[in-house]
Amino acid sequence: MSRTAAVIGAGLAGSSAALGLARAGFRVTLYSDRERADLRDALPATGTAVYFGNDARAADARVAEDHYADSHHSLGNSVRIHAADGSPAIAFDGAFTYRAQAVDVRLRTDDRIGDFLDAGGTFEVRPIDPEALDRIAADADLTVVATGKGALASLFPVDEQRSVYRTPQRQLLTVTLAGLDYSPEPWAYRTDRGGDYNLFNIHATQGEIWIGPYLHKDAGPAWSLLGWARPDGEWPARFDRATDAASARQVFVDLIRDYFPDDLPTVERLQVIDADPQSWLRGAVTPTVRRPVGSTASGHPVAAIGDTAIAFDPITGQGAQNSIIQVADLVEAAADHTGPFTEQWLREQFDRHWERRGLGASEVTRLYLGDPDYAVHAELAFPAAAVSPAVAQSLFTLLDVPNPILDVRTREEVLGFIGAVAGEPAEDVLARFEPGFASAARL
Ligand SMILES: Cc1cc2nc3c(=O)[nH]c(=O)nc-3n(C[C@H](O)[C@H](O)[C@H](O)COP(=O)(O)OP(=O)(O)OC[C@H]3O[C@@H](n4cnc5c(N)ncnc54)[C@H](O)[C@@H]3O)c2cc1C
C-alpha cells in the first residue's frame, strides 16, 4: 500500500512538495486555508520570487514541468550605487552566468496545484490549527508544514543560533506594472541590454530599488518594482503612503524622481495593471531560521519547509529559490527512505539543506543588506566590480550558488577572491577604480 503524506499550506513550497510527493508515489492531501481560485486571484503574491540561477531552476525541474520556458528571462543586472549625499559612487552592468526568471508565484502555484490534481492528489480547503494538525499527522506517514511566515510557525521555535536578526532590516514595498516591452529603447540611457537586464539602484543610507522583468499571471510580460527602505532613513514614511497599486506606483515614481532621476522618464511610462488590484505588497521580513521539526500535541513529528523554515529578507532573492531546493531534496530523500519519518530523520534532512544552501543564502543576504560583518566585502568587492566585469559577474553568481561566501571572511580573503576572479592582483584592480558612473564595467 502506498505511503501517505499531508502538506499544509498551498504556496510555492507546499504546492511543489505536494506535487513532488504525489509523483513519487505518495497518496498526498494538500490542505489550504483558501480556495484555489482565491490563491490565484484574491491575494497578492507572497513575493517576486525570481529564480536567480541554475541551482533553483534545476531543483524546480526535479519536481515540476517548466511551463514558462518560452517567457522572458533576464540575463544580467545594471547596478548603480549612490553615496549618502546622493552622488554617483559605483556602477557596473554585469551578465549573469545563468538565466533568471520572475514568474508570478500565484501563477506558478496555481499551475502546480493543477498538475498535482492531475497526478491524483487531494486538495482540501480548511484552515489547519494545531489540533487539526495533530489529527492529520497521526494519520499520515509524512507531514510537512508550508504555511509561510505566520500561522503554525509557532510550532517551530526560532533557532536563536542560526537566526542573526531579531528585527526586520528593511521595510519593503513592491508593485507590478506594465506598459513597456523588453526592447532596448526605453533603457538605452543606461544599458544597451534593455529588458535583458534588471536595474538595481542602491542609496547608501536610504535603501535599494530593483526593477526587473516579471511574468504577471494576467497581464503577461510586466515589470516588478521592489523597494527596500532602511528603517532609520526617510523612505519608510514614503512606503507607508502606499495603500493600493496606484499609490504604490506613485511612491516609486516619487522616489525615483528624488533619488535616481536618470530612470524617471522610463519608469513613468509604467502603469498599474487594472485587472489585478492585488499587484502590490507592503511589509517587512525579520530574517528568521526556525527549528525545522515540530511536535504535535500527541507527539507526531512535522517538518517545516519554505518560509516556515527560513524567512529571508528578499534583497538577494533567496526565499523561493531556497524553498524549491529544500523541497526537491526532501521529496527525493523521502522517496528513497524506507523506514518511518522520525523526528531525527526529518532534522537530518534540514541540517543537510542548511549546509548545502540555507546558511550560504542567509550570509549572501547579509552581504547585500550591508551588514557590518560584511563591511570589508562591500568596501572592496563593489568598487572592484565597477572595473572588472569578472568580479561583477561573480557577485551575481552568489545569488545562484551562495556557498562560496562562506570561505571569504577576512580582508585578505576578500582580496584573494577578487584577485582569483579578476585574474590579476586585487590591488591592481582596485587602483583603476574612480568613484562615479563614468567607468561602469560592461559585460
Ligand atoms: C517582497 C518580496 C520579494 C521576494 N522576492 C524573491 C525573489 O526574487 N526570489 C526568491 O527566491 N524569493 C523571493 N521572495 C521570497 C518568496 O516569495 C517566498 O520565499 C516564497 O514565495 C514562499 O513560499 P511559501 O510557500 O513558503 O509561503 P507562502 O507563499 O506564504 O504560502 C503559505 C500558504 O499557506 C497558507 N496557509 C497559511 N496558514 C494556513 C493554515 N493554517 N492552514 C492551511 N493553509 C495555510 C497560506 O494561505 C499560503 O497559501 C520574496 C519575498 C518578498 C516578501
C-alpha 423 – ligand 1 centre gap (Å): 40
Cβ contacts of 383 within 8 Å, gap of 6 or more: 90, 430, 433
Amino acid letter for position 170: R
The CATH number that domain 169-284 falls under is 3.30.9.40
CB-ligand 1 contact for 8 (6 Å cutoff): yes
> Looking at ligand 1, which atom is closest to the CA of residue 16?
25
- Of 380, 394, 395, residue with least CA distance to 429: 380
Q: Whose CA is nearest to atom 48 of ligand 1?
A: 11
C-alpha cell at 182: 523588453
pLDDT for position 15: 98
Task: Measure the CA–CA gap between 250 and 269, rounded to whole angstroms.
Answer: 12
C-alpha 12 – ligand 1 centre gap (Å): 7
In the numeric block, the cell 532590516 is attached to 169
Ranges of the chain with pLDDT below 50 = 443
Q: Which of 8, 147, 321, 326 to mutate to test the pocket of ligand 1 (most atoms within 8 A of CB)?
A: 147
pLDDT for position 53: 87
Q: Whose CA is nearest to atom 17 of ligand 1?
A: 47
Task: Measure the CA–CA gap between 145 and 293, rounded to whole angstroms.
Answer: 9
pLDDT for position 440: 60
C-alpha cell at 15: 504546492
> In CATH, which superfamily holds the domain spanning 4-48+105-165+287-366?
FAD/NAD(P)-binding domain (3.50.50.60)
Cβ contacts of 118 within 8 Å, gap of 6 or more: none
pLDDT for position 194: 82
pLDDT for position 153: 84
C-alpha 442 – ligand 1 centre gap (Å): 34
pLDDT for position 439: 60
Q: Whose CA is nearest to atom 15 of ligand 1?
A: 319
Cβ contacts of 226 within 8 Å, gap of 6 or more: 48, 172, 173, 174, 209, 210, 211, 212, 314
Task: Report pTM.
Answer: 0.97
pLDDT for position 438: 78
Question: Domain limits of the chain?
Answer: 4-48+105-165+287-366, 169-284, 372-442
CB-ligand 1 contact for 10 (6 Å cutoff): yes
C-alpha 314 – ligand 1 centre gap (Å): 11
In the numeric block, the cell 508593485 is attached to 175
- Total H helices, total E strands in the chain: 15, 18
Cβ contacts of 85 within 8 Å, gap of 6 or more: none
Q: Which helix (H) or strand (E) holds 220?
A: strand 220-229
Q: Which of 46, 98, 129, 318 to mutate to test the pocket of ligand 1 (most atoms within 8 A of CB)?
A: 46
